[in-house]
Amino acid sequence: EEKMPKKGGKGKGKKEAKGEEGVELTDAEKTAKANLRIEALERELVQRTDIMNRSIAAHNEMRQRQAELMQDFDKEKGDTFAITADMTRQYKAMQEELLKRLNVLESTIQEQKDQLELARQANEDLRRSKDQELANKDAQIADLKQKMEDMAIEFGDMLKDTLDKMSEKIEATSSEWDKDTGVDVQKKLDDFNIGSMTT
């Protein structure tokens, strides 16, 4: 029975079973001590309950505020709809007035349309002429580009052929130098016209 008090915490078994002088507690003392512990837990429960109640109250207040905001939003939405409907009516009335004025000025508008059509046709003719000029210039540019590309290819082939011949001469010269290292280098270069190319 002395080991039972270990439930309260580490190293408190023997101290809880005995008093300050090491005397074992009576059942009444144990009960009183347990009652104190229960009271402490009850106070803690009351505190926690109070915190929870306040949290619930705050939550309810937020929900109430949300509901009020939704009501305000619905009211604002209704007001906006009414304003929009009124503006639409005004717009339709103005549109009808404008249509009446357009009917009165129909003859003048038709004359202006005819003039615009003549101007459009003249502009179209001018645009076609300019487009033809641009097309001719584009064709000339394309032809010049093609000629330049052909010349570049031809030049590349000539350059490749020249480099190949030079490589053959250099290889032949190198082979002769390997056989006869005492021959004058400048004379070899003159024989293959390399000396004149470097000047």
DSSP state of 192: T
- Asked if residues 13 and 5 have their Cβ atoms less than 8 Å apart, the reply is yes
SS3 24: strand
Q: What is the pLDDT of residue 164?
A: 86
Residue with token string 């009850």: 42
Question: Considering just the CA atoms, what is the radius of gyration of the chain in Å?
Answer: 55
Q: How many Cβ atoms are within 10 Å of 169's Cβ, its own excluded?
A: 14
Residue 45 pLDDT more than 50? yes
List the alpha helices (DSSP H) in 5-105.
13-17, 27-104
Summarised one tens digit per residue, pLDDT across range 133-148 is: 889 999 999 999 999 9
Q: What's the rounded Cα separation, in Å, for the pair 7 and 14? A: 12
According to DSSP, the residues that pair with 28 across neighbouring strands are none
- Asked if residues 17 and 2 have their Cβ atoms less than 8 Å apart, the reply is yes
Q: What's the rounded Cα separation, in Å, for the pair 152 and 141? A: 16
Give me the mean pLDDT over the 93-98 stretch: 86
With a CB cutoff of 8 Å and minimum separation 6, the contacts of 1 are: 17
Give me the mean pLDDT over the 19-41 stretch: 82
Residue 46 pLDDT more than 90? yes
Residue 127 pLDDT more than 80? yes
Residue 109 pLDDT more than 70? yes
SS3 96: helix
- Write down the pTM of the prediction: 0.28
Q: What is the largest CA-CA distance in the chain?
A: 132
With a CB cutoff of 8 Å and minimum separation 6, the contacts of 195 are: 186, 189
Give me the mean pLDDT over the 23-43 stretch: 88
- Of residues 82 and 191, the one with the higher pLDDT is 82
Residue 165 pLDDT more than 70? yes
Residue 4 pLDDT more than 60? no
Tokens of 168: 């053959």
SS3 57: helix
Give me the mean pLDDT over the 76-95 stretch: 87
